[in-house]
Structure 1
Amino acid sequence: MDIEELYSRFTECNGLTTDSRHCPEGSMFLALKGETFNGNAFAAQSLAQGCRYAVVDEPQYASPENPRILLVENCLQTLQQLANYHRRKLGTRMVGVTGTNGKTTTKELIAAVLKEKFNVLYTQGNFNNHIGVPLTLLRLKPEHEVAVIEMGANHPGEIKTLVHIAEPDCGIITNVGKAHLEGFGSFEGVIRTKGELYDYLREKGNATIFIQNENPHLNKIAEGLNCVRYGQTSGLDVSGAVLSCSPFLHFEWAAGGALHEVKTHLIGAYNLDNALAAVAIGRYFGVEDTKICHALSSYVPQNNRSQLVQTESNTLIVDAYNANPTSMMAALLNFRQMEAEHKVAILGAMKELGEGSREEHQKVVDFLNECQFERVILVGPEFAGLSASFEHYENVKEVEAMLAAHPVQHCCVLIKGSNSMKLSELPACL
Structure 2
Amino acid sequence: MMPIAPFSIDTRTIRPGDIFVALDGTKQKGYAFLAEAFQKGAALALCASHYRDEVSEALRPRVRFVGDPALEMANWASEHRSQFNKPVIGVVGSVGKTSTKQFLAYLLSKKKKVLATTGNLNNQLGLPLMLSRLNQAHDLAILEMGADHVGDLARLVRIAEPDKALLTPIAAEHLLGFGSLSGVYDGELEILQSPRLNTLVTVSGDPELDRRLSSSGWRGKIIRVGFSEAADIVLSGLRTENGKTFFEIQKQSVMLPTEASFLALNAGLAAAMAVEAGMSWAEIGGEWQPEMPKGRFAIRKIARDITVIDDTYNSSPKAFSAALEALSRMKFSGKRIVFSDMLELGSESARLHEALAEDIARSGVNAAWAFGPETRRTIEWLNRNSSVLDSRWFPDAESLARDLIQLVQSGDGILFKGSR
Task: Report the TM-score, using the length of structure 2 for normalisation.
Answer: 0.90
Structure-2 residue corresponding to 1:112: 106
Structure-1 residue corresponding to 2:334: 342
1:28-427 equivalences under 5 Å are 28-57=19-48, 58-62=51-55, 65=58, 66-198=60-192, 200-201=193-194, 204=195, 207-223=198-214, 224-234=219-229, 236-246=231-241, 247-254=243-250, 259-294=251-286, 297-312=288-303, 313-385=305-377, 386-389=380-383, 390-406=391-407, 408-419=409-420
Distance 1:173 1:117, change over 3 A: same
Report the secondary structure of 2:224's partner residue.
strand
Q: Aligned residues: percent identity? A: 28
Check the 8 A contact 1:305/1:320 in 2, yes or no. Answer: yes
Check the 8 A contact 1:210/1:229 in 2, yes or no. Answer: yes
Check the 8 A contact 2:332/2:411 in 1, yes or no. Answer: no
What is the CA–CA distance in structure 1 between the aligned matches of 2:288 and 2:40, rounded to whole Å? 43
Report the secondary structure of 1:381's partner residue.
coil
Check the 8 A contact 2:31/2:55 in 1, yes or no. Answer: no
Q: 1:182: how far off?
A: 0.8
Distance 1:243 1:324, change over 3 A: closer
Check the 8 A contact 1:63/1:69 in 2, yes or no. Answer: no
**Structure 1 unaligned regions, length at least 5:** 420-430
Distance 1:368 1:53, change over 3 A: same
Check the 8 A contact 2:24/2:30 in 1, yes or no. Answer: yes
CA deviations 1:129-162 (Å, max 9, x no partner) are: 1011111111112111110000111111000001
Check the 8 A contact 1:268/1:334 in 2, yes or no. Answer: yes
Q: Which moved more, 1:284-293 or 1:89-98?
A: 284-293
What is the CA–CA distance in structure 2 between the aligned matches of 1:244 and 1:357, rounded to whole Å? 33
CA deviations 1:245-284 (Å, max 9, x no partner) are: 2453210111xxxx11111113333222211111111111
1:8-19 equivalences under 5 Å are 10-11=3-4, 13=5, 15-19=6-10
Report the secondary structure of 1:29's partner residue.
strand
Report the secondary structure of 2:82's partner residue.
helix
What is the CA–CA distance in structure 1 between the aligned matches of 2:291 and 2:131, rounded to whole Å? 25
Q: 1:240: how far off?
A: 1.1
What is the CA–CA distance in structure 1 between the aligned matches of 2:26 and 2:160, rounded to whole Å? 26
Q: 1:372: how far off?
A: 4.1
**Structure 2 unaligned regions, length at least 5:** 384-390
Structure-2 residue corresponding to 1:428: none
Aligned-pair Cα RMSD in Å? 2.0
Letter in 2 for 1:396: A
Distance 1:242 1:329, change over 3 A: same
Letter in 2 for 1:213: S
What is the CA–CA distance in structure 2 between the aligned matches of 1:211 and 1:24, rounded to whole Å? 38
Distance 1:370 1:232, change over 3 A: closer
Q: Which moved more, 1:400-409 or 1:239-248?
A: 400-409
Letter in 2 for 1:20: T
Letter in 1 for 2:311: D
Q: Which moved more, 1:40-49 or 1:166-175?
A: 40-49
Distance 1:126 1:205, change over 3 A: closer
Letter in 1 for 2:23: L
What is the CA–CA distance in structure 2 between the aligned matches of 1:268 and 1:401, rounded to whole Å? 28
Report the secondary structure of 1:301's partner residue.
coil
Check the 8 A contact 1:30/1:75 in 2, yes or no. Answer: yes
Q: Which moved more, 1:86-95 or 1:385-394?
A: 385-394
Report the secondary structure of 1:32's partner residue.
coil
CA deviations 1:189-233 (Å, max 9, x no partner) are: 0000001002x14xx267111121222222222233311232223
Distance 1:45 1:61, change over 3 A: farther
Report the secondary structure of 2:284's partner residue.
helix
Letter in 1 for 2:142: V
What is the CA–CA distance in structure 1 between the aligned matches of 2:103 and 2:196, rounded to whole Å? 27
Structure-1 residue corresponding to 2:386: none
Counting matched residue pairs gives 402
